[in-house]
Structure 1
C-alpha cells in the first residue's frame, strides 16, 4: 500500500502486573480516502442489528445475544479489500527492563514502534491514531512520532503527518482493531468457555487462514501477525 493511509492502533492486556501472559498491540490500516466510508459501513452494520450508530464495538462486549452482529463486523473486515490488520503479540514473562535501562512504559512504546513501522506506506503520508492509554502519554507520543519519522528519514514530518491520541469510542476502525486484537489474545492465551468469543476466534481463523498463534510472513498484508519474546525465553 503506497497511498496516504490512516493507521488505528489499540492494545490489550498491556499492564505489567495484570496477570496476563501477553501484551497484544494491533493496528487497522485503511486508505485515507476510504476511512469515512469504512466508518459509515460500521454504523450501517450496527443499525442493521438494531443497535445505535454510536454503539461501541468492543471485544469485552461480545455475548451470545450480539454474536451475529460481531460475526458481521469480522466478515466486513475480511470482505473489504481496503482494510488490513497487523498485530504484535509480546510475551511478558521474562521481561528484564532494568538490563535495558527502561521502564515498562518505555518498552510498551518500543513495541508500538515495531507494530507501526511495518504498516507505513513506502513513500506516502501516514496519519496514526493511538487509543488513549492513560493521562501521561503526550510526551512519549511526541517521542514516538520523532522516532518513527526519523526511521523513515522524514525529518520534516512530511510523511508521518500526524500521530495523535484519540478516544476509541469515537473511532469505529479503532473499535474494529479492538475486536481483532481480542481474538488474537484469546487464541494465544488458549482460553475457552465463552462460546460467543470462541465463535469469533474461529471465524477470524477461518477467514485469515492462520492459527492466530504463529508469526505470519511479513508479506501478509490482510492479516499480519508477529510474535515477540524476551531474549532467552521460549514462546
Structure 2
C-alpha cells in the first residue's frame, strides 16, 4: 500500500537552551493511506463550512469561540479508526546527552525524528513523508533522514521526504493539533476550565483513556512514544 505521513514538532528549542521552559521535546506524525487524503481534506473543508472557521488549524488557536469546530475535528480524526493514525515521540530534555550526537543539536533532533518514524514503517509499503518547513544549518538533513530510513527498511519504499509550509498543508495542521494535545499533557501546560482542557478531556474520553500519557508500542490509533535515554526496559 501507499501511505503518506505528515509531521510537525513542538518545543524544538529544548535542544539548544540550558533553562528549558518545558521538559519534553515532541515530534508528531499523522499517518494515512494516500487513497484517503482527498476524502479527509474534504471532510475538514466541510467542517470549516459548518462552523464558518477558516485560516490555519493550530493548537495555539483553540479558543472558546472555536471549540465546537475543534471538537468536530477530533471526532473526525477518531471516525477514521486505523485509516488515520497519530504517533509522536517525547524526548526528555534532562536525559539528552549531546556528546552522543557530536554536540550537534540539529543532528540529535533528526535522530529522534528517525526514531519516531522508523517503528511505524512496515514491509512492502511505500511512504511519502511531509515535514513542516524548518530552516536547517545543514541543508542535507532530510536527504540523510531518507537514506537512513531507506537502509533500515529494505523491504519498504521511502519514496520521498520533503518539507512544506504548514500554512498550505491542512494535514500538517491537523498533526499540529493532535501533537499540541499530547504535548499539553506531557508538559503539563493545561489550565483547568480552558477550551484546550475541554478539548483534551474530550479526546481522552473518546480514546477511552484517563490521561494522554506514554502508550505501549502496540497502541495504533494515538501512540505516544516516550523514549528512554537512560536505559531500562
User: Fold match, TM over 0.5?
Assistant: yes
Partner of 1:187: 185
Cα pair 2:47 2:69 within 8 Å, conserved: yes
Cα pair 2:129 2:160 within 8 Å, conserved: yes
Give the Cα separation in 1 of the matches to 2:168 and 2:146.
22
Cα pair 2:106 2:136 within 8 Å, conserved: no
Partner of 2:60: 60
Partner of 2:105: 104
Query: In terms of mean alpha carbon deviation, does 135-144 or 112-121 score higher?
Result: 135-144
Partner of 1:161: 159
Partner of 1:43: 45
- Give unmatched runs, 5+ long, in structure 2: none
User: How many residue pairs are counted as aligned between the two chains?
Assistant: 225
Partner of 1:227: 226
Partner of 2:200: 201
SS in 1 for 2:140: helix
Shift of 1:94: 3.3
Give the Cα separation in 1 of the matches to 2:165 and 2:138.
13
Partner of 1:77: 77
SS in 2 for 1:226: strand
Partner of 1:117: 118
Cα pair 1:29 1:119 within 8 Å, conserved: no
Q: Describe the shift of the 1:42–1:136 C-alpha distance in structure 2 as closer, same or farther (beyond 3 A).
A: farther
Give the Cα separation in 1 of the matches to 2:74 and 2:84.
12
Q: Over aligned residue pairs, what C-alpha RMSD do you find?
A: 1.8
Shift of 1:168: 0.9
Report Cα offsets for 1:24-75 as digits up to 9, x if no partner: 11110010111111111111111110123xx210000111110111111111
SS in 2 for 1:93: helix
Cα pair 2:101 2:108 within 8 Å, conserved: no
SS in 2 for 1:105: helix
- Give unmatched runs, 5+ long, in structure 1: none
Give the Cα separation in 2 of the matches to 1:224 and 1:94.
21
Q: TM-score, normalised by structure 2?
A: 0.90
Report Cα offsets for 1:129-171 as digits up to 9, x if no partner: 11112254630100000000000126xxx71111111111111
Give the Cα separation in 1 of the matches to 2:182 and 2:229.
19
Partner of 1:33: 35
Cα pair 1:4 1:121 within 8 Å, conserved: no
